[in-house]
Amino acid sequence: MRVFVAVDLPEGDTKERVKAYLEGLGDKRWLKPVSPNNLHFTLAFIGEVGDQVAEKAKRALIQVKHQPFEVELSGIGFFPDERRPRVIWIGVSEDKGGRELEGLANLVRDKLREANVPYDSKPFTPHLTLARAKGDSTGNIPSAGSFGAFLVEGFSLKESVLTSSGPIYRDLQVVSLV
């Protein structure tokens, strides 16, 4: 199974603003937008693992202790850069949740490492993926200010089932922040 650890973007005003921005992109055939149901922050990508490793991950993740915190979504960014956008994303205000999100990702990764659960060790960059570029075509992506804020109250170990119409995510373990 293909698994990762993530904070979901919850229903509410902030998510509605993100959805409106996505809809405002219009018919950009060179973009493959993320389904609004799948909007999340990846804290750790684990990848293809068997049931035993997924169970080790579950046991490790319930040991993560962190207080709930607020995150403000702000601005549009690109990986690898604006000239060659492969991924279009919304950023997080460093002073309004960015440091806390990074701290949570570090705690999650520490617990996974202690449990010998392998994960992609690329540095964590707090971002909410909106769309992926298809092919070499590019176009203009409108800038944006604040999308609003939301409260991070937990995270999940998720299974990702890849289908021809896009991934389907299923929670394997939900961890509440207290």
Q: Which residue has the tokens 């200010």?
A: 145
What 8-state DSSP symbol labels residue 76? E
40 is catalytic: yes
Strand order in the sheet with 127-133: 31-33, 127-133, 85-92, 69-80, 146-152
The tally of CA atoms less than 13 A away on the side-chain side of residue 146 is: 9
Check 14, 15, 40, 98 and give the catalytic one. Answer: 40
Check 15, 109, 111, 127 and give the catalytic one. Answer: 127
Please work out, in degrees rounded to the nearest 5, the angle formed at the alpha carbon of residue 13 by the alpha carbons of 11 and 16.
75
State the catalytic residues: 40, 127
